[in-house]
Amino acid sequence: QFLFVVIFTTFLLCCVDYDVLFANRPLNHSQAGTDRAKVTLPDAVLPAPHPLCPGRIRASGWIIFMLVMAAVFWLYRLVKVLCSVLGYWEIRSFYIKALNIPSEALCNHSWQEVQARLMALQRRQQLCVHKKELTELDIHHRILRFQNYTVAMVNKSLLPIRFRLPLLGTVVFLTQGLQYNLELLLFRGPGALFQNAWSLRPQCKRAGARRELAQQLARAMVLLGVANLLLCPCVLLWQLLYAFFSYAEGIKREPGSLGVRRWSLYGRHYLRHFNELSHELRARLSRGYKPATNYMNSFSSPLLAVLAKNVGFFAGSILAVLIALTVYDEDVLTVQHILTALTLLGLVVTVSRSFIPDEHTVWCPEQLLQRVLAHVHYMPDHWQGNASRAETRSEMAQLFQYKAVFILEELLSPIITPLILIFALPPRALDIIDFFRNFTVEVVGVGDICSFAQLDVRSHGNPQWLSAGHTEASAYRQAEDGKTELSLMRFAIAHPRWQPPRPSELFLSQLKEQVQRDAATAPPARQVLPEGTLATSLLS
């Protein structure tokens, strides 16, 4: 795709005669017997031997610079892809030879089955020489080492991704570009805190070196931000071209696609459990997609709805007349800009309809939000009982954003990411160094991992979720929003044979007893909501 976009864009800039295409210059048909009044696409394309096309490229230093930068980046991507293919080939061979799972049968095996075969193989051949047996948690720690750190940093609000702006209020900005730069700084870059894929640099574990390391990290953040700033024109141009080629056709065919919602990158980190694999997260958030959409669509502005109805009516009336004229005589399509008018009017009608609420919608935000919570598992305490408030909807929109907002954020990322790296991130350098020192533990056979991922409620539990004396964690060491407890529950349910630490096992046993007591004493649903039209509507 990258190669196609670069070549196609260069072709459009240098090898198309736009005076002929737009009929600003008459076309001289010199072929015998040729009598054409209309311009065809081949007429507007400069032929291959024509010297004007390569001449335009050589005459523009800006185009040559962009092509050189694109070639360097493409070669880097090529080397990276080849290395990935070699790694994938090793994984494929491991599945076939060690786990006895052929490629054609892979789709018939669940992750739990693959994991069970891996643990059985460890008992037979001791792949990990430092341990006799691997547990489910060990496997997840090795796969999700860096992801667990990122989830913990988002949970503890350590990363500067939340800003308060005039007129806009509180906004969250976390894009793929910013995440890539953070991974370079902390995990994968040449001067990252991790010296390899499994071990933190030794000086990061010493309290005496914290200030020196923080200065080095802050300097690296500024340098990386300056590099991003220098590359900003190239990256911004690529983002614009890629967004245009990716979304233009879809928006023309279905303008309402910009109003479709998706889980934001920040939402995926905020809602992710510790030790939750990517396919498990996708499945869980996919189940919560429709309830979240219903909750967000339950809010509407009466004034905006009235305005949208009138704008849609006016644009639809003009569009109907133009379509009728086109059906009556297709020569109407030859009128200048008539296709542009038809497209824009259709876009206005579609966008206007998206602001008109469904007249059959039942207003019950509390129940809709509870259905969302049943799948996403996390929500701030102040949402409870305030599902109908605009503030709650705004905060939910940070997790569940419009596709148009996602595209806009990615387009602005080359401009805003350098500013965050240069100005917002360096003041957090000391806190980040302290975080990695205080919340890193070394596990035999696994390496350095985030201590939150051990799912130990005594070390990182929240008193709101636990009985008195079951946690020794200070406010600094507690996971917010009950993430330790909820992650523990999810992991224990997904892996029934896993043996949790003693405090965590006690918490799970007490929780099961409480759930059984609540289920035994809870009244039937029909007594809570008697049968009737309202109950049927709410429970449908």
SS3 30: coil
pLDDT grade, residue 33 (50/70/90)?
very low
Q: Each residue of 379-410: pLDDT tens digit?
A: 888 998 999 999 999 999 999 999 999 999 99
**Domain match, 279 and 408 both:** yes
Query: Does 521 fall in a domain?
Result: no
| pLDDT greater at residue 350 or residue 428 | 428
Percent of the chain residues past pLDDT 90, beyond the cut: 65
**Domain match, 262 and 229 both:** yes
**Domain match, 103 and 226 both:** no
**Domain match, 324 and 371 both:** no
pLDDT grade, residue 527 (50/70/90)?
very low
What values do phi and psi take at 400, rounded to 5? -130, 85
**Domain match, 293 and 308 both:** no
Token duo for residue 378? 């996390």
CA 385 to chain centre: 29
Q: Which residues of 400-434 are buried (b: 16+ CB within 10 A; e: fewer)?
A: bbbbebbbebbeebbebbbebbbebbbebbbebbb
The pTM for the full model equals 0.89
Average pLDDT over all residues of the chain: 89
**Domain match, 193 and 45 both:** no
**Domain match, 102 and 77 both:** yes
pLDDT of residue 302: 86
User: Which of 48-57, 114-123, 389-398, 499-508 comes out lowest in average pLDDT?
Assistant: 48-57
178, 154 Cβ separation under 8 angstroms: no
**Domain match, 394 and 294 both:** yes
Token duo for residue 491? 């992991």
470, 506 Cβ separation under 8 angstroms: yes
Query: Does 529 fall in a domain?
Result: no
Query: Can you tell me the distance from the alpha carbon of 44 to that of 53, in angstroms, rounded to the nearest whole number?
Result: 12
| pLDDT greater at residue 372 or residue 130 | 372
Residue 204 to residues 44, 106, 154, 222, 435, Cα–Cα distance (Å)? 62, 41, 20, 20, 10
pLDDT grade, residue 524 (50/70/90)?
low
Query: Can you tell me the distance from the alpha carbon of 390 to that of 186, in angstroms, rounded to the nearest whole number?
Result: 37
414, 427 Cβ separation under 8 angstroms: no
Residue 415 to residues 36, 181, 182, 404, 438, Cα–Cα distance (Å)? 49, 13, 16, 18, 33
pLDDT of residue 538: 47
Token duo for residue 352? 């206007």
Query: Does 518 fall in a domain?
Result: no
Residue 67 to residues 8, 226, 322, 413, Cα–Cα distance (Å)? 12, 22, 44, 22
pLDDT at 310 over 50: yes
Token duo for residue 518? 């609540």
Q: Which residues on neighbouring strands pair with residue 448, listed in sequence order?
A: 442
Query: Does 272 fall in a domain?
Result: yes
**Domain match, 319 and 234 both:** no
The residue among 341, 340, 337 whose CA lies nearest residue 318 is 341
Query: Can you tell me the distance from the alpha carbon of 8 to that of 21, in angstroms, rounded to the nearest whole number?
Result: 17
The residue among 271, 343, 349, 274 whose CA lies nearest residue 308 is 349
Q: Interior CA angle at 469 toward 467 and 473, to 5°?
A: 100
pLDDT grade, residue 378 (50/70/90)?
very high
pLDDT at 242 over 90: yes
Residue 390 to residues 41, 172, 298, 313, Cα–Cα distance (Å)? 52, 17, 11, 29
**497: domain range?**
455-512
**Domain match, 188 and 65 both:** no
Query: Does 442 fall in a domain?
Result: no
Query: Does 138 fall in a domain?
Result: no
Block residue for tokens 């059984």: 516
Helix 429-438 to helix 210-230 angle, to the nearest 10 degrees? 120
- What sign does the CA torsion over 247, 248, 253, 258 have? positive
Please count the CA atoms within 13 angstroms of the CA of 479 that sit on its side-chain side.
Answer: 36
Residue 323 to residues 206, 327, 338, 341, 353, Cα–Cα distance (Å)? 74, 6, 10, 11, 19
128, 445 Cβ separation under 8 angstroms: yes
Query: Does 531 fall in a domain?
Result: no
Q: How many domains does the chain have?
A: 4
pLDDT at 319 over 90: yes
Q: Interior CA angle at 237 toward 231 and 239, to 5°?
A: 100
Q: Which residues on neighbouring strands pair with residue 171, listed in sequence order?
A: 163
pLDDT of residue 540: 44
375: left (phi over 0), alpha (psi -120 to 50) or beta: alpha
480, 155 Cβ separation under 8 angstroms: yes
SS3 387: coil
Q: Each residue of 134-150: pLDDT tens digit?
A: 999 999 999 999 999 99
**Domain match, 342 and 385 both:** no
501: left (phi over 0), alpha (psi -120 to 50) or beta: beta
Query: Does 335 fall in a domain?
Result: yes
Q: Where are the beta strands (DSSP E) in 255-325?
A: 261-263
**Domain match, 232 and 272 both:** yes
Q: Each residue of 285-305: pLDDT tens digit?
A: 999 999 999 999 888 888 988
Residue 487 to residues 148, 301, 393, 456, 468, Cα–Cα distance (Å)? 11, 38, 25, 10, 20
Block residue for tokens 């047996």: 133
pLDDT of residue 32: 42
Token duo for residue 332? 């109407």
Q: Cβ of 471: how many Cβ atoms within 10 Å?
A: 23
